[in-house]
Structure formats: C-alpha cells, structure tokens
Structure 1
Amino acid sequence: MTTSLISRPRPRVRIGGRALYCAALLPLAVAALLAVPLGRARAAAGWWLRLRSRLLGPLPPGGAGVAGRPGRAGGLVVAGHAVLSLLLGAVALLPFGALLAFVFRGVCYGLVDPGPYDTSWGGPSRAGAWAAHFLVGLPMAAVALLLLAGLAALHGRLSGVLAGQRPARWVFAVALTVPLPAVALFVAWLHQI
C-alpha cells in the first residue's frame, strides 16, 4: 500500500518550538521527579504529553493512549521517563551554551570586546573583527539548532511511552548513549579554559 503526503498530513514544526521543547526538559523533569513520590504520576505524564503535542505536534497513531492524555503511565514509567528527560535536558544545555556564545561573541562581539582588535580574527578594524566573529559563529549556531531539533525529536519519540506506546529499542539506546559524548565534550571544554 502506498501513502501519499496528502493522506498523511504532518504538523509543521518550527525550530523555535523544538528549542523551547528542549528548554523545558530540565524543569519539567525535575517537576515530574517531585510529582511521582507525591502520587501525581498521571498528572506529570499529562504535562509531558501536552508539552509534546503543543510544541512538536500530536503523537503518531498506534499507541494505547491518546495524545495529551496519559495512557497506562504508572509511577515507575513516569520516573524512568523523567530520569531520561533529565539526562537529555542536561545535554541540551550544551547547544544552548553554543547559541549563547554566538549571541555574545558573534552578534554582539563589538559590544562585548572593547578592543584593541589588532590580534583578533578580522582585525585590526572593529568592523572586520565583528564580521569575522559573526561569520565564524553562524555555522556553530546552525549546528546547535540542529542538535536541539534532534534532541527534541528523540525525546518526542521517548514521550510516547507515557501514552502507552512502545517506542523502538533504539530510542532508549540513543537516549542513554547521547549523554556520554556530551560529558566528554564538556570535560574537554573545561580543560581548555
């Protein structure tokens, strides 16, 4: 059976929605971890599913639950999801840091660094240094946005478990593996400071 793009409408998700989704991972994971021992696991599952449906679109059909309403998510499932969300939220801090560096050291370079610009990239003029730092930061900002989009897509698939869906095994494997290179990158960055 062949399906056309017309028969399967896909929600149009912008990169800003994915970035907002990643920004909500850490605080919502902490809130969910606090809600589970208080007997509010289903409410926490509803928070995740509402966030996912608003910023990434509804869950694809095929699960036991309905998007926006918790399915069979018990306390253990919600707690496990919150722990993985906490890990992915911590990983999302790295691309957000790169975007912040782009804003301060790329877009606002001439305002942040008072000069002299003799040894700066694009120097000795202020305009040249500003342009060089902006142009060097553009690809890094693009990669950071793509990383945030990937993290949001991964977590969006992971959130299906809260609606009673069974995600593919690779989703759990990737969610557990992604923090490892992020930790290595962060440690390497700390050593170069």
Structure 2
Amino acid sequence: MAQTLTKPVADVCKHGIQWRSVVYDALLLPVGVLTLADAIGDERETAARRWRRLGEYRVGSGSVVQPMTNAQVFGYGLLSAVLGLVSLFLLFLTVLAVVRGPFWGFVEHGPVQPGTWGGPSRAGAWIAHGLIAVPCIVMFLFVLRGIAALQALLVQGTHKWVLPATIMLAAGALAFFWAWLQQV
C-alpha cells in the first residue's frame, strides 16, 4: 500500500475526477487507520505527507495540508476511517447494484415468481431491476465523489463548516450502516 500512495497521480488514475474520487475513497480507511497510528506515535509530519499524497488522487496535484496538533490528527484519522468504511460500503453497494441490476438476468437463473419486480416474465423482471439499479449506481458514485471532496476539504482545513458537516455525515452514515446490518 505504501507503494500505491507514492505513485504519481498520472500512473494511477487517468480517467478523470470521478475515478480519482473512487480511488481516494477506497484509500480512506487504510490511510485513516495509519493516521490514527501516527497520532499515537506523535508523527504529525508523516500524517501530513500521507494526506498530501492522498490529496493528489483527489485533485491531481499536491494539496496543502494545514499544520495540526496530535489531537487533530487523531480526530481527522478517526473521521477518515469512518468515512473510509462508509465509502467501502457504498462501493460494495455499487458493485451489488451493477450485478443485481442491469445484469440481473445473468446472475438469477431460477424461476421468476409473480411477486418479483417486473414479473411474472423474465424480461419484465430484468428491465425493472435495470431501471431501478441504474439511478442508484449513479447516485452512489456521486455520493462517493461528495465524500471525497468533503474529506479533502477537512484535511486542508480551509472552511470552518467542514468539520461539523463531516461529523454529521459520519454519524449519519454509521447510523445508516448499522440499520442496514440490522435488516440483513
């Protein structure tokens, strides 16, 4: 993973800001956990370098990271780990929506029951699953982009509203994640 964080952005992500955001979100959990360890070990400069490298995935060039205390590094690491967990969950839901949406007919081989969305015909069920999943996929990708943008603003420390917004997003996302786990 350390090798991934040191590669130039052009080598890792050539497909625009949306895919940079997905890479950024996928790396949030491990970087957040490493930042927690940096805060415990009093390695603020190491955390700042890691944030700078991670910021390159988001914006495509070196980002500015404000000097932080150990408490701030720990708090930002904790928030980043939570947002990373939520981002991985959203990536999972995106993959699930792709597999069970537009490609529903390739993964579902059993008989189509009358209560199936779009049933009782197989074609109707396939169309219904695809029409429901495609907007969900687009929404999940935009939410992932928003999480990446908010977390990047948090680390840059340029706006005062970002910290409360990030805390509220993390709390709401954890509540959503917990509710989803309870229904499984």
CA drift of 1:183 comes to 2.8
CA drift of 1:125 comes to 3.4
CA drift of 1:21 comes to 0.7
Q: Given the alignment of the two structures, is residue 91 of structure 1 paired with residue 86 of structure 2, yes or no?
A: yes
CA drift of 1:69 comes to 6.9
Distance 2:152 2:66 in 1: 16
Q: In structure 2, list runs of 5 or more residues that go unmatched.
A: 1-14
Q: In structure 1, list runs of 5 or more residues that go unmatched.
A: 1-11, 59-66, 162-166
Equivalent of residue 96 in structure 2, options 70, 80, 101:
101
* TM-score, with length taken from structure 1: 0.75
Greater helix fraction, Structure 1 or Structure 2: 2
Distance 2:101 2:107 in 1: 9
Distance 2:78 2:41 in 1: 16
CA drift of 1:47 comes to 1.2
Equivalent of residue 78 in structure 1, options 52, 58, 73:
73
Distance 2:35 2:175 in 1: 27
RMSD of aligned alpha carbons = 2.4
Q: Percent identity?
A: 34
Residue deviations 1:21-69 (CA, integer Å, cap 9, x gap): 11111011111212333343312211111111233234xxxxxxxx457
CA drift of 1:13 comes to 4.7
Residue matched to 2:128: 132
Structure with larger Rg: 1
Distance 1:15 1:169 in 2: 25
Distance 1:43 1:173 in 2: 25
Residue matched to 1:187: 178
Distance 1:106 1:85 in 2: 30
